[in-house]
Structure 1
Amino acid sequence: MGGAVVSKVPFYTVRIRNIPSSTDRSSLLESLGCPQDTVLSLEVGPYNFTKMTATVTVQGTHKVDELLKLNNTSLGGSSRVESRVLVDTRFDGFTVVAGGTNGNLDIIAIHGLNGHAFSSWAVNDVMWLRDLLPKRVPNVRVLLYGYNANYVEDPFMFRINKYARLFLQSLKALADIRSRRVIFICHSFGGLVLKRALMDIAENPFEYSALQHVGLGVVFLATPHRSSEYTSNDIASILVNIAKISSGVKGLNSRRAEQLSRSLQWDSKEVMDMARSFRFHYCRESQLQFANFCEQLPMKLSKTIDGLVVNPYSATLEVLHARKFSISNRDHVTIAKYADPNEEAFNLLVGELTRMVIFARERGILVIPRLLLLTPPSF
């Protein structure tokens, strides 16, 4: 993965919310005791436009602990409760990492199993949704969505309906959602959560009236849509593979994997039923565009077996107008991580986002004044 310099000191990112809207980058870094060249975003919050949210990337746990001590304190010295900032590393709910104040287009990223709303998309101090994408698709608001996707802590992790409902509740709560249009980028299990959410919107038009026309497109990154008819990789075994990778192979021994596989049999049926139902709802959908990105590099699935976590057949959405891309230099984890704006895989993804925006603009679905979409370089 070109462009990333491996650091001996790990990078961590802290989220700071409830920052006064008058705060600028320089004064914020000074208040935090961080160098002026610290990588960060500082954007208007998604729920309250009078407050701002920052993501600050620092080196080492010592600085993280120092910043976390600022939680529930005021950076400006005020004693008023409403001026106190909220500092965390969990990133639950929505976090804006790029403003896009001149248009009505959002890009929302949903991470996968055992993932994290920020680090799932980051390589060292480069987080492409924050640091690279806004330069290629200007004036687009970029949001991260975080949820507790830890299957170890939550025995109902694979009950997708629960996570879809939580996502839709958070989406409805966005202050300006009725005037926005959204392209979703989903990694692995996050794609299943979104599919269930989109079906809920289609099946419950009154409950989700504010969200009926929100979606413009979806980019699926190694999402397991279906079982393979030609290999032994059914959905249950694919989900076990995802669990192995997300928890670390050492953290999931063969006995635990077997138990997990049995417990996933119902989830496997649910995923296949959802695939058929989703195809029914969206096979002729003219507004919603789809793109599938498939991993091509194997990962270690056990001490003796290497393989693709999600095979290309499973990673292909059964919708006729869905486009498919095989990414030769990416495995299941790195297919969501980009550090070099010139690499081919990143430019393919930017190209698909651009195509979806142009499609929507040409049909009058999306209106963005003076939006300049930068095309990827030729290879």
Structure 2
Amino acid sequence: MQETNRNSAITPFSRSSTLVNRSVSIDSFETVVPTLLGPDKISDPENAELDVWFVHGLTGNRKKTWTHENGVFWPELLAKDFPKARVISYGYDADVVRFAKDWANASTEGLKSYGQGLAYAVRNELQNKTARPIYFIAHSLGGLVVEQALLESIGPDASLNNVAQWTAGILFFGVPHQGSHLAKWGSALRKLIPESVRSTNKKVFEALKTDSQVCQNLDEDFQHAAKRGKLKNLRLISFYETRKLPLFKNLVVPESSAALKGDPKCAIEGDHKSMTRFTGPNDPEYCKVKGQLSSWLSPENKPVVEAPKKKKKNRSRMNVQGATISGEFHAPVFAQSMFAARDFNAALGPNSHQSIHYGGNGASQGDSDEYGEPSSSGSDTDEEEDDTDKEE
């Protein structure tokens, strides 16, 4: 797949002649294509030692969310750079009307359905597989879907337990994590939905301007589990957008909302849509993501899992790398590291606003063609949200 020069001639889609062309056109609204639902294996090596799952955002799909306008589908880049990784892009029917109705009615039905669907899909792909760490790469609403899936996996359904036990890390892209920002996020999503769709469900979509107790409760439950509960060994990092979408006064998910307290964060040079689209293997933004995953998989930092022997108190510890037995496993913990965090910080470049330190005993560390053109009329110009970019 041919890589394009980031400094090539400016196209009509560029925000400025002085900026790298990371902005994309606002595409016409699309319904979800049924054939793009469920898991799609990008790579499936026989000697796979880890799984990487991509999860798109609201009304996105498993293909275009991750595809640059030059045709580069970067899950394929990741598969080449990590030849022992099984890479899967997951699609779900993120219907905007259903999402807005759930938001308005404080219903958990939609998010639980999306989360359960993902959890069962991952479980099914794990059957008869050797022990391996799982990493999720999630955009916008997809991050909340991943959170719900992991909460389902530590619930009463024992068949899902391996999903949580084997999940080692999550890379969030433009995912809102702070409750105080959820109303602004919902209002921004509302403006990204075509007027033709909003006009038939005005009351429903007006609700997106208000706080969502459902989303806030979900995020609080996940953060509690990730900090002190059954998911406390997860490694987390939040990538946040740095540019505004065309016709928007503010960022959809600003840094102050995207960042998880106490976990690493890193800027991606792009808007809420283009932040998940890279031009090729040498794209500096792709290299940030690749560098993060590489650091988690380095010999000094690779996950270690515990395999309990049934009906015995003894536990044997083994490295996931090269593990050859299958069965029930506890959540991954991470070996004490001598990894020089400064090396990765240098790889991230000057836009990383937090030093990253690894090691220790498992402390938490760490919509694409989905949108229509926002209305430029007075009622939808972001005037009520001029403080979205401000730190709170």
Pairwise TM-score range, normalised by the shorter structure: 0.5 to 0.7
Match of 2:234 among 288, 299, 302: 288
Match of 2:253 among 304, 307, 310: 310
Match of 1:197 in 2: 149
355 and 377 in structure 1: CA distance in 2 versus 1, 3 angstrom threshold: closer
Match of 1:360 in 2: 302
Match of 1:103 in 2: 48
Q: Is 1:325 matched up with 2:279? A: no
Give the aligned residue type for 1:201: S
Cα distance in 2 for partners of 1:344, 1:264 equals 35
Q: Report the number of matched residues.
A: 279
SS in 1 for 2:257: coil
TM-score by length of 1: 0.65
Deviation at 1:199, TM superposition (A): 1.3
Match of 2:121 in 1: 170
307 and 264 in structure 1: CA distance in 2 versus 1, 3 angstrom threshold: closer
Give the number of the structure with larger relative contact order, counting CA–CA contacts within 8 Å between residues 6 or more apart.
Answer: 2
Q: Is 1:217 matched up with 2:160? A: no
Residue pair 1:216, 1:360 contacting (<8 A) in 2 also? no
The C-alpha deviation readout for 1:324-373, integer Å capped at 9, x for no partner, is 0012x21000111112211221111001111222323467552148xxxx
Deviation at 1:237, TM superposition (A): 2.9
Alignment of 1:1-379 (within 5 A): 2-3=4-5, 90-123=35-68, 124-130=70-76, 132-152=77-97, 159-174=110-125, 175-176=127-128, 179-204=131-156, 206-228=158-180, 234-245=181-192, 247-248=193-194, 250-251=195-196, 259-262=204-207, 265=210, 268-284=212-228, 285=231, 287-300=233-246, 305-318=248-261, 320=262, 322-327=263-268, 329-358=269-298, 359-361=301-303, 364-368=318-322
Give the aligned residue type for 1:206: A
Deviation at 1:323, TM superposition (A): 1.1
Gaps of 5+ in 1: 9-87, 229-233, 370-374
Cα distance in 2 for partners of 1:259, 1:152 equals 8
188 and 342 in structure 1: CA distance in 2 versus 1, 3 angstrom threshold: same
SS in 2 for 1:144: strand
RMSD: 3.2
Cα distance in 1 for partners of 2:176, 2:348 equals 30
Larger strand proportion, structure 1 or 2? 1
Residue pair 1:186, 1:194 contacting (<8 A) in 2 also? yes
Deviation at 1:160, TM superposition (A): 1.0
Cα distance in 2 for partners of 1:149, 1:218 equals 20
TM-score by length of 2: 0.63
Gaps of 5+ in 2: 12-32, 104-109, 306-317, 324-343, 350-392
SS in 1 for 2:158: coil
Residue pair 2:154, 2:161 contacting (<8 A) in 1 also? no
Residue pair 1:201, 1:212 contacting (<8 A) in 2 also? yes
353 and 378 in structure 1: CA distance in 2 versus 1, 3 angstrom threshold: closer
Identity %: 23
